[in-house]
Structure formats: structure tokens, C-alpha cells
């Protein structure tokens, strides 16, 4: 090459070089050494290097879209006040809860210190009117359940048991005196509630097969039996106990106070899911309950079912939150994790998993959003709630499985959160009505035939 041509090529090269950028690069690496190394590469190696650099520089690689599980922008349907509340809950969960949940989940301990911090949010008893409750739409109860479960399903379960099942039982089935005594302090989280329906030998068959009994002796009620899987029961101030009346054979509800003689709660150990939730086996031995602590508007299982119908929608939202947390964690991971010189999110097979996940999640979100709209319009039926619960719990299983898949071996480590979501999804799948029971409820509604064992 002639000297003149070399000079001309050098001038053209200098015109195309960003000198400021070159100076920044020189601060990071030794350019002279880099040039020597480049000069030693053969044609094939140089082409491979340029291909990698061009891949890094593709549009969108340096300006990635935000990580969000709300692909259809359902948040835009919320009012400004509702959106603010949603973000308040999200920020609280990110700042106060996320840093401690993996440690507590691993040790199966409940972080009691967060209860005082939860009080400031004023989100307990969201859809109830009076007694200090916010009286917001059921939609916001669902949004809140999703936001809490998005970080941790155990904390969401604690909250749902207290605010939904326990407070809901008193709100729907209690006398005015019982509501005045319990709901204001439960709304402030100054008293914690639990809900005792499931038994060691009776799960899906609670409608007609409760083994826990109650008998009126003319002045008090005597309760005997056991309850199992009762969340919050080891530290609750009041436990709603459902029992079968020996005389009428009807289901009745009772307010059992902490420390009541004849009441004992033993923590269940060695769970693989919801490890933060303090589930207990409750034993009632000639437990004496005054008539004033019998839920005055609970005279049959139909009254119990009203509570379950109301809270089952919340469990569907909880499943959505679990799936959303897993999806967002997986998406974040795949954009940072590199293999073969590229983020694994840029590979087709990983993107296919992510698209399947966001598809499931979006279908679940639109379903529960409509479910809550129907609940607010007083159109909700058992089959509506059951369809949402069975569909969302199944789809959540698929989402968390794919989230674990794209993380490879790291997917089983708590530090990446997805392992916790995978385990907790199994609990959501079973409680508040199994897949089979909820399917039969929907099946009865659409066919007109009941397939339940008679």
C-alpha cells in the first residue's frame, strides 16, 4: 500500500472516530494493547468479534423495556386514588418485606415486626363498610392481594386469613355487638384473627361432614374436635371455629378467644410451602364458649359458604400475584444472565417460555379483574369464584414452572425468589377448594347435573 493511500485511509479513519468516546475507552483499557491483540486475530475471529459487537448494539439492547407483569395495562383502569394505593402497597412490600422473606421462609418463622408497619397502610377489611374499614371496591381487595403475593404468598395468606376469612366471618355472620367488639381492632391489626374450618379427616367434605361438634348445655356451648391447617392460629387473638351442632346437625360458628380453656394450638412443622404462615393443629377439648360468642347469623353451612365465596376471589388474585412475581423475577434474571456472550433473554427458546408465561398471566389478570367487577356489581356466584380459582391456580403452576426452567440450576435457590414461588404455588393449588371440587361446582352450573358424591 502506498504512503499516500495509508495517509488518506488514516485521515478517513480519524474523521469517523468519536474522540470523546475513544478517550473514555482508553480510561477503561489499554488501547495500545487492545490494538496489538486485534492485530493478531485472523479473519474468522475478527468476523466473530464484529458479529458479537453488532448484536450488543442492536436497537433495544441498551434501552430495554420496563419489567412489568401487566402486559395489557390493566392498571390504567384504576382511578388515580386506587393506583396510588396499589403503589403504596407495592413499595411497602419491596422496601419492608422483600429483604426479609427468604430468611423467614427458610426458617419457617413469621416476621411479627411487619404487623406494626402494616398498620400504616390502612388496607385491612378493604371492602367492608363501617367499623373503621376503608369500604373500597372488591377490585381493590384483589389488587392488594396480588401486590402482596407478588413479593410473598405467605404474607398474602396471613393477610387474607385475617382480613378476609376471619373478619369476613364476623362481618357477614356476627351480631352488631360482635362486630363492634372485634372489627375495629382487627381493622387496625391490634387483634389478629384466624379461621378454623378444615379438619384432619375432613377437607373437601366440610359441607356435610364436620367432625368437630358443638352442644348447647342451656347456658354455654361445649366444643370438641380438631382443626388442621389453620393459619395464624398460633398467635391469633380470636379464632373462628366452625362446628356441627349435635342436636340440629347444622354448622355453627364461634368466636374462640386466645387462651380459652380447652383450646390448644400446635404449630405444624416440615411444610414445603407457605413456610412463613404459622399453620396449626387445633384441639378442642370440652371447650366452653358462651352464647354471646356464637356467631349469631351463622345457622348452617350456607352461611359459611357466603364467607368462602367472598374470599375465594381473593385467592384467585393471590395466584395471579404469585405468577406475576415469578414471571418478573424470571424476566429480570434472563436479561442479566449471559451465556455464549449474550443475555439468555435473547435466545428463542427462552423467549418462548417468557411469552407462554406472560400469556398465562395476562389471561389470569383479565379473568380476575372481571371477577371483581362482578363481585362489586353483586353478580358473583359460587361457580364464578370457583372458575377463577381453579383456572388461576392451574396456570400459576405453569408460570412458576417455566420461571424455574429459564433459570436453570439457579432456579432452585431462594436468593432468586422463584424457588419460593414454585413451592407456594402448590399450596394455592389446594386450599380454598381443590381443583377437583371447584371443577365440579362449575360443572354443575354449566350442565345442570351435580356430580358430587351424595
Q: How far is it, in rounded angstroms, from Cα 148 to Cα 171?
A: 23
In angstroms, the CA 68 to CA 147 distance is 12
* H/E stretch holding 169: helix 167-173
Strands (E), 268-421: 280-290, 338-339, 342-343
**Residue 173, pLDDT score:** 96
* 184 contacts 170 by C-beta, under 8 angstroms: no
Write down the pLDDT at residue 47. 67
* pLDDT attached to residue 14: 56
Query: Rounded distance, CA 414 to CA 404, Å?
Result: 11
- Name residues of the chain where pLDDT drops below 50: 57-60
Greatest Cα pair distance in the chain: 116
Q: Are 210 and 244 in contact (CB under 8 A)?
A: yes
Q: Quote the pLDDT of residue 416.
A: 93
**Positive or negative, the Cα torsion across 154, 160, 165, 170?**
positive
Distance, CA of 326 to CA of 417 (rounded, Å): 7
Could you tell me the domains of the chain? Answer: 74-188 (1.10.540.10), 193-300 (2.40.110.10), 302-447 (1.20.140.10)
Q: How far is CA 352 from CA 63, 80, 279, 358, in A?
A: 21, 35, 38, 10
Q: What pTM does this model have? A: 0.85
* CA-wise closest residue to 439 among 377, 389, 368, 378: 389
DSSP state of 66: P
Per-residue CA distances from 117 to 21, 162, 321 (Å): 48, 16, 21
- pLDDT of 253 reads 96
**Cell numbers describing residue 258:** 386466645
E strand segments, 397-445? none
Distance, in Å, from the CA atom of 227 to the CA atom of 2, rounded to the nearest integer, reads 94
Please say whether the beta carbons of 127 and 136 come within 8 A: yes
pLDDT of residue 424: 96
CA 389 to the chain's CA centroid: 13
d(C-alpha 195, C-alpha 325), whole Å? 27
Of the candidates 193, 188, 191, 195, which has an alpha carbon nearest to the alpha carbon of residue 118?
188
The residue to which cell 364476623 is assigned: 170
d(CA 338, CA 411): 15
Q: Computed over its alpha carbons, how large is the radius of gyration of the chain?
A: 28
With a CB cutoff of 8 Å and minimum separation 6, the contacts of 73 are none
Query: What pLDDT score does 43 carry?
Result: 72
Cell 372458575 belongs to residue: 387
Distance CA 145, CA 125 (A): 12
Amino acid at each position: 500500500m502506498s504512503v499516500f493511500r495509508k495517509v488518506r485511509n488514516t485521515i478517513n479513519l480519524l474523521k469517523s472516530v468519536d474522540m470523546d468516546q475513544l478517550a473514555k475507552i482508553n480510561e477503561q483499557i489499554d488501547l495500545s494493547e487492545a490494538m496489538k491483540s486485534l492485530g493478531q486475530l485472523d479473519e474468522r475471529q475478527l468476523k466473530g468479534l464484529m458479529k458479537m459487537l453488532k448484536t450488543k448494539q442492536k436497537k433495544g439492547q441498551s434501552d430495554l423495556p420496563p419489567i412489568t407483569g401487566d402486559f395489557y395495562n390493566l392498571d390504567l383502569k384504576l382511578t388515580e386514588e386506587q393506583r396510588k394505593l396499589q403503589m403504596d402497597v407495592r413499595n411497602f412490600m419491596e422496601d419492608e418485606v422483600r429483604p426479609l422473606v427468604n430468611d423467614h421462609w427458610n426458617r419457617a418463622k413469621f416476621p411479627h415486626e411487619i404487623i406494626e408497619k402494616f398498620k400504616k397502610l390502612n388496607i385491612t377489611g378493604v371492602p367492608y363498610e363501617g367499623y373503621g374499614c376503608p369500604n373500597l371496591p372488591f377490585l381493590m381487595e384483589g389488587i392488594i392481594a396480588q401486590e402482596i403475593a407478588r413479593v410473598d404468598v405467605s404474607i398474602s395468606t396471613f393477610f387474607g386469613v385475617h382480613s378476609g376469612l376471619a373478619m369476613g366471618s364476623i362481618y357477614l355472620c356476627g351480631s352488631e355487638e360482635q362486630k363492634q367488639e372485634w372489627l375495629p381492632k382487627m381493622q387496625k391489626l391490634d387483634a389478629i384473627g384466624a379461621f378454623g374450618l378444615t379438619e384432619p379427616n375432613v377437607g373437601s367434605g366440610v359441607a356435610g361432614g364436620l367432625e368437630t361438634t358443638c352442644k348447647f348445655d342451656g347456658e354455654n356451648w361445649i366444643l370438641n374436635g380438631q382443626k388442621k391447617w389453620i393459619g395464624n392460629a398460633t398467635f391469633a387473638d380470636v379464632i373462628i371455629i366452625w362446628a356441627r351442632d349435635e342436636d340440629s346437625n347444622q354448622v355453627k360458628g364461634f368466636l374462640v378467644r386466645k387462651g380459652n380453656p380447652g383450646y390448644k394450638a400446635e404449630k405444624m412443622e416440615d411444610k414445603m410451602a407457605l413456610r412463613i404462615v404459622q399453620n396449626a393443629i387445633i384441639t378442642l377439648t370440652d371447650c366452653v364458649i358462651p352464647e354471646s360468642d356464637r356467631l349469631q347469623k351463622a345457622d348452617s353451612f350456607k352461611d359459611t359458604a357466603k364467607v368462602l365465596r367472598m374470599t375465594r376471589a381473593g385467592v384467585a388474585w393471590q395466584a395471579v400475584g404469585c405468577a406475576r412475581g415469578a414471571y418478573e423475577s424470571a424476566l429480570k434474571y434472563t436479561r442479566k444472565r449471559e451465556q455464549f456472550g449474550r443475555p439468555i433473554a435473547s435466545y428463542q427458546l427462552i423467549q418462548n417460555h417468557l411469552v407462554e408465561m406472560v400469556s398465562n398471566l395476562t389471561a389470569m389478570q383479565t379473568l380476575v379483574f372481571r371477577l371483581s367487577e362482578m363481585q362489586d356489581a353483586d353478580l358473583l356466584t359460587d361457580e364464578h369464584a370457583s372458575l377463577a380459582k381453579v383456572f388461576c391456580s392451574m396456570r400459576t403452576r405453569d408460570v412458576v414452572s417455566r420461571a424455574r426452567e429459564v433459570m436453570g440450576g439457579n432456579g432452585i435457590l431462594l436468593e432468586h425468589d422463584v424457588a419460593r414461588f414454585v413451592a407456594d404455588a402448590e399450596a394455592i393449588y389446594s386450599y380454598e377448594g381443590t381443583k377437583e371440587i371447584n371443577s365440579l361446582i362449575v360443572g354443575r352450573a354449566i350442565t345442570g347435573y351435580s356430580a358430587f358424591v351424595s
